[in-house]
Structure 1
Amino acid sequence: MPKISLSLITLSLTLISTTQAQVPTHCTDKEYAIIDAWMGKTIATDSGYKNTRQGKVLSLCADQAREPFGRVSYRYGLPGKVEMNVDATTQAPFTIANLSTGPHTGMDVVGIYQGEFSYYVAINGGQASGIELTVFKGQKKLVEHFSGNHEGEDFQVGAAELDLSGNKARSPVLKMGKLKHSLF
């Protein structure tokens, strides 16, 4: 009997800590998250950079789990409060690019252009991890945010996936192409 009780307590604590560690999302119940990430101050730890979770949340949301997507949305704001929403359309698709950042690292980048502003959401891969947000106004870099390195706590890759293999986008609201700015 004590073993069962200890197992139930362990399971309960695991569920509680998992629930607390989840990254909030701006995606609705009828959407699928591509990514959700904290965009606030990070601190260096022995296991990499950790987000303080005192900033805003970035979400990329899709209308279905697999491409071709009919809709992809970029949302940004405090948890539970969307302050910016941009929907990709066939007339104004989001630009996607795959960049090599080193011999064992790379990033998939989603470029979102709104007037004179350019927003770049980078999903680090290979031996790198984390989500980056870089914002330009014209040619001037305004903002660089990083989620932190801890998947499941600082950021999460959702159920929806971008397929960046090949040289053609698989969704009408996305296009493969060159980004307007260099991120390096």
Structure 2
Amino acid sequence: MHGVWRGNCCHSTLLTYSGTYVFSSGPPSGAGLERVAWRMSSSIDHRMGLTTTRAGWRIVSGGKVIGHDTTVIYGENATLLCQLTETDDDLTRIIWKKKTREKLEESVFFVIRQGGKTEHKNGLEDRVQFIGNFAEKNGSIQLLRMRLLDEGIYTCTFNLYPSGPLETDINVTVFGKMACSYYSMA
């Protein structure tokens, strides 16, 4: 998608680079000469916070997802922290995906909806608990009784309206327990 697009809503020229549009002249107020992602469906790119509307361009807050890698010992519980900040957009749902030693393809395993209603998918069932707060945009979960095969990359995705999804990856490492025996040679 390289070339030139002329925006009829604000008479700006946008140049594209790898599918990302760049203002070359006449950006809307506050946008500056920066890379922006523009989608025909009038949704916004969550990284730049720019969208089209019938009236023209509108700048919205970008938002940020904070998550931390974690390490756990086999058989213990792992807490996966995931918090959305810096946005006033409406949260529609939180989706957790995983790509582990057991299953190399990424798959959704947990969905959280308004009111803290949860939906288990693809396996973990009673081994995952929602410990966050939907209203506070906290999507943290706890994984119970961790196995070596649970090690992998867990993705926390916040679906927002009108800006679309924001996500972060959390690397989870599971260590095995050491077995030590003491023998007396007496």
Query: One fold, TM greater than 0.5?
Result: no
Q: TM-score, normalised by structure 2?
A: 0.24
Work out which of the two has the higher radius of gyration on C-alpha atoms and give 1 or 2.
2
More helix by share: 1
What is the TM-score with the length of structure 1 in the denominator? 0.25
